[in-house]
A and B are shown apart, each in its own frame.
Chain A
């Protein structure tokens, strides 16, 4: 049974986004991939983007900074501060995008649960405002708003918010 690879994204309340994804690897490896610059550079970023600069000071109060290059010469800088580090199960940090820094930081809490050699990653993102997320996503990728009103059942399914 292949139960890895499916990314679930749901909203929780009006400011939180909860992402869940299963990886076919023990959690200490997933934790390393989330926190070591040489590994982060190999996977982090939406399609067409490359993480070119990555600094991580992995201790409580330590800063992190990412800088990415995307299609058409676009760039994206992100930074934040680690609030909690419990290797290999939990990490919490603030996150802000350079371009929208005036809107404040999101608080990201990532937990890793291992079962039979597979790791379930849950990432809760408490956004300062949806506007920031919206702007970031719009600038980060060519994503036309889905203007398909005829898939109402699918839309309601996608929006099935956690109680």
Chain B
């Protein structure tokens, strides 16, 4: 738990510091291609992109272990490490933002289903079951193919198709059942408890029953699930971006960095592997934190890890 929190805080801090690192330490712009750049390493001036060993293409410079191009350059001569830090900003933003949206919608749905029960609940429960069982990436592709061309017009506002809000919304949508189902189950249990009956008898309104009695008693379910949802969101985001369905250039997340670096996988594997390592570290930290929160709040609750 503690180790998880420390690693998570470190990853967040590093990502937040991306512009500082790029400006003050690496002296580079992580988004501007730098194909003809040169740097001085051990007193020698070398170019950032060197001719490939086979004479075809170019091989970017490897790790210099100095402040500039600490871990080498990517295929367009940009600082690989600085880009990983910037990628973290996007990946983490989407992961946490989507989890927030998911939890809010799922909380509302689960509470309403648990409170009103009956047909409303019956139909919605089956739909949630279905979305739960349905392959996430297929659903995301369907949503993306319907929205990616034009974005989503929401009255006067339009979510642009290159905005990171689009993958955020898609990810938030597919994660809803993982939270809504346990919230509904808990809300149903609380609904039939004596203190709710007492509140009903004393004439409390529907609104007051849901917000005043049910909500505080199902919040811990959401709190336990939240770290796992953030983790699975980061997996979804990186996978979608890897498949170029998620974050669109010039923005780059860890997933798109792994996919960008694939052309260099056999010559400069670090460019692709480093963002991957960041994903794995962040996920492990989140799972550890999640286990800790669960053991503290609700030791019995089993999370159904979404895939």
Do chains A and B stick together as partners? no
